Amino acid sequence: MRVLRILLEKEFRQIFRDPAILRIIFLMPIIQLIVMPLAADYTVKNVKLCVVDYDHSSYSQKLISKITATDYFQLVDYTDSYEKALKYVENDQADLVLQIPSSFEKQVVKEDKATLFMALNAINGVKANLGGAYLRYIIGDFNREVRLEWLQLPRFSPQPTIQISALNWFNPTMNYQIFMVPGILVILVTMVGAFLTALNIVKEKEIGTIEQINVTPIKKYQFILGKLLPFWVLGLMILTIGLVISRIIYGINPVGSILTIYVFAAVYLLAVLGMGLLVSTFANSQQQAMLLSFFIMMIFILLGGLYTSIDSMPEWAQIFTKFNPVAYFIEVMRMVVLKGSTLFDIRVHLATVFLFAIVLNSFAVWNYRKRS
Amino acid sequence: MKQDLAISVSKLTKRFGAFTAVNEITFDVKQGEIFGFLGANGAGKTTAMRMLCGLSFPTSGEATVAGFDLFRDAEKIKKNIGYMSQRFSLYEDLTIRENIRFYGGIYGLTDQQIKTKTDFMVGQLHLQDQINKLVKSLPLGWKQKLSFSVAMLHQPKIVFLDEPTGGVDPVTRREFWTLIYEAAQNGTTVFVTTHYMDEAEYCDRVSIMVDGRIDALDTPIELKRKFNAPSMAEVFVQLARKAQRGE
């Protein structure tokens, strides 16, 4: 054990002596957690709208002012030429064109029926989709108002109306940040764990000190533990910083126990560090290690359920996420933070990630060669 | 194996694919000897040395180092040897004291032993004022002397030095060889590669590798006589000129 202590002593000295690493460890979580959830919001705002009004009636005016009253839309131009409106779309100055036909008011009043035309700039699919949906909703609302004003309602509605009232469990206000912040925290812990471990060991390969270590009677497991433990501690430190930030800035108080999060994180980090270790046994330079880790991380993060729901992925991708530790931690974080899940509830996740840790580390230890 | 042999090598070979880096070399090194391991760049010196240190698996052949079989007991060999590689391999971001503590600790020295060793080394190398400075701030010559002392920290039976004086000024080289002599006098076997032919003259015995083979092995005096050459440099040139493979 003395050898391990000597190794840890040296590792911590080097980490805390390197200002670049310290900056990554402390500034990265702060900046990512403060900036990302605020900037990367799913709610689409500022949809640039161009209205082509052939009607110029009081109703068309009412509709337009109803639309622009929300902060979802920004009126780019009010014109009476569809060609001109399309130019805006082509130049990417407008996302949406709403065309009001010439006899709009008359049709609504006399014929109880009107058609509006909507053209979407679908280069940004998400924006087009959501912008279109908002607009449809507002027009639907406008429609109801008009009918109320003009139609004599029969005592009993000829068509039954079904009202839906919804209640959002676990995140009542559908707060997007409560959903994102725990996920981003997972990414942070993962990146620091995997990247720093891989880079640290490969750096020793690059400068040649690993050879000096390999020529000593040190045991493989001692060397590897000496490398993993410091980053395990750092990973938990980052998690702590992240939890504090999400509490102070976003007021996120996990419904479940903090201890549950730490127990899972402790096991999860072993898996992540094992992955970093494995990368380091394959890479011979820091560039290689960086690119390889980055490649793996990209896949894990994009298929980890942070940005897109795993349930809506194609089946093959869903099968893949079963082998993605990041997906497990994101799910566990959301379960514990939002729903208050206990260790018992996440036992399957915990066991699976533990298995990952064993497999990845065994593979890495096996692949680490003191002798080539 | 004979008791007074530190290293005994027989037909040791290392192949990388179709390329034979070390081709059936056979030699013995006596205990306490300073053994010069010479050869042109690419002749296979470093590969041979890495095999003897247990850093590289031999393809075939036999060898015992410090009384242990190279194939079966490489980890036991490692307790008994010191190694100074061609590349500087102390931690530049640690101080001299921290480096000594780290390597001493890995070899299982106690805190007390480390302290004694540190004091001794610092005195020997006149590093009193530098002891708490980062190693990267030291000039190359001092770094090399420090590396050597760190390789000797656990009092190994054999020390392997791979071009320890490459790029070092003549004064420091002389000082370095004083350290080597001291080590040899204390019974440590020194296995050293070099490109400086004046250093070859300091060795008890010298082997010269050409294209993965050992083409000559004897005392410097004998070699000069055999090749009818005034200096080791002349001997070396005569042999190395026959090399088929480039760098």
Q: Does B24 touch chain A if contact means CB atoms closer than 8 Å?
A: no
- State whether A33 and A90 are in the same domain: no
Neighbours of A327 (CB within 10 A): 22
**pLDDT the model gives residue A105:** 83
Q: Is residue B39 predicted with pLDDT exceeding 50?
A: yes
Is residue A180 domain-shared with residue A207, that is, in the same domain?
A: yes
Q: Taking CB atoms and an 8 Å limit, are B91 and A10 in contact across chains? A: yes
Q: Would you say residue A160 lies in a domain?
A: no
Looking at residue A192, the DSSP 8-state letter turns out to be: H
What's the pLDDT at B178?
Answer: 94
| A36 and A85 share one domain | no
Domain ranges, residue B180: 32-54+74-240
Residue A162 in domain = no
**Chain B residue at shortest CA distance from A13:** B94
Contacts of A372 in chain B (CB under 8 A): 55-57
Residue B110 lies in a domain: yes
What residues of B are in contact with residue A2 (Cβ under 8 Å)?
Answer: 105, 108
Q: Are A117 and A203 members of one domain?
A: no
Report yes or no on A155 lying in a domain: no
Res. B13: pLDDT tops 70? yes
Instruction: List the CATH number of the domain containing A116.
Output: 3.40.1710.10
B157 touches chain A (CB under 8 A): no
Of B76, B78, B87, the CB nearest to A215: B78
- Cα Rg, chain B, nearest whole Å: 18
CB contact under 8 A, A211 and B55: yes
3-state secondary structure of A105: helix
Tokens of B115: 């302290």
Note whether A190 and A63 are same-domain residues. Answer: no
pLDDT of residue A81: 87
Whether residue A60 sits in one domain with residue A34: no
B132: contact with A, CB 8 A cutoff: no
Asked if residue A137 and residue A218 are part of one domain, the reply reads no
Q: Burial, A263: exposed, middle or buried (Cβ in 10 Å; 0-12, 13-18, 19+)? A: middle
Q: Classify the C-alpha dihedral A253-A256-A257-A258 as positive or negative.
A: negative
Sheet of strand A73-79: strand arrangement:
A73-79, A47-53, A96-100, A117-120
* Domain-located, residue B245: no
Q: What is the pLDDT of residues B90-123, one digit of tens each?
A: 999 999 999 999 999 999 999 999 999 999 999 9
Residue B27 within any structural domain of the chain: no
- Is the model's pLDDT at B3 over the cut of 70? no
A291 to chain B, closest Cα gap in Å: 25
Select from A170, A332, A338, A188 the least CA-distant residue to A262.
A332
Give residue A28's pLDDT. Answer: 83
State whether A14 and B91 contact (CB < 8 Å). yes
Say yes or no: A30 and A78 in one domain.
no
Of how many residues is chain A composed?
Answer: 372
Question: What is the rounded CA–CA span in Å between residue A120 and residue B117?
Answer: 78
CA of A13 to nearest chain B CA: how many angstroms apart?
8
CA distance to partner chain B, nearest, from residue A235 (Å)? 23
A353, A328 contact by CB (below 8 A): yes
Considering the domain boundaries, does residue A219 fall inside one?
yes
pLDDT given at position A154: 59
CA distance A6 to A226: 9
Are A305 and A346 within one domain? yes
- Please state, in angstroms and rounded to a whole number, the distance separating the CA atoms of residues A260 and A266: 10
> Do the beta carbons of residue A340 and residue A255 sit within 8 Å?
yes
The Cα of B226 is separated from the nearest Cα of chain A by a number of Å equal to 37
Domains in chain A, number = 2
Residue type, B170: P
Do B106 and A6 count as a contact with CB atoms less than 8 A apart? Answer: yes
Q: How many domains does chain B have?
A: 1
B85 reaches A (C-beta below 8 A): yes
In-domain check, residue A283: yes
pLDDT at residue A156, as a whole number: 60
Query: Chain A: residue nearest B14 by CA?
Result: A372
Within-domain flag for B23: no
Task: Identify whether B246 is part of a domain.
Answer: no
Residues B35 and B189: beta-carbon distance below 8 Å: yes
pLDDT digits (tens, 9 = 90+) for B170-187: 999 999 999 999 999 999
**Distance from chain centroid for Cα A130:** 18
Same domain, A194 and A57: no
Contacts of B81 in chain A (CB under 8 A): 215
d(CA A78, CA A115): 19
- Can you give the pLDDT at residue B1? 47
The pLDDT assigned to A90 comes to 87
Q: How many CA atoms lie within 13 A of B60 on its CB side?
A: 5
Q: What local confidence, expressed as pLDDT, does residue B88 receive?
A: 87
Q: What is the pLDDT of residue A270?
A: 95
Residue of chain A with shortest Cα separation from B54: A371
Question: Domain range holding A241?
Answer: 2-40+173-367
Residues of chain A with pLDDT under 70: 40-43, 150-161, 163, 172-174
Handedness of CA B56, B62, B64, B68 (dihedral sign): positive
pLDDT of residue A155: 59
Asked if residue A259 is part of any domain, the answer here is yes
Amino acid (one-letter) located at A214: N
Whether residue B13 is contained in a domain is answered as no
Mean pLDDT of chain B, nearest integer: 92
Would you call B134 helix, strand, or coil by DSSP? Answer: strand
Closest CA to B192 of B90, B63, B52: B52
Question: How far apart are the C-alpha atoms of A212 and B134, rounded to whole Å?
Answer: 18
What's the token pair of residue B202?
A: 């300091």
Q: Is B102 on the interface with A (CB under 8 A)?
A: yes
Residues A283 and A319 in one domain: yes
Task: For residue B10, tell me if it sits in a domain.
Answer: no
Strand A47-53 relative to strand A96-100: parallel, antiparallel, unpaired?
parallel
Asked if A6 and B105 come within 8 Å (Cβ–Cβ), the reply is: yes
Look at residue B12 and tell me if it is in a domain.
no
Instruction: Determine, yes or no, domain membership for A163.
Output: no
A/B interface, count of CB pairs below 8 Å: 73
CB-CB under 8 Å, B90 with A3: no
Domain CATH code at residue B109:
3.40.50.300
Residues A11 and A125 in one domain: no
* Residue A322 in tokens: 């079963």
Would residue A217 count as lying in a domain? Answer: yes
B247 touches chain A (CB under 8 A): no
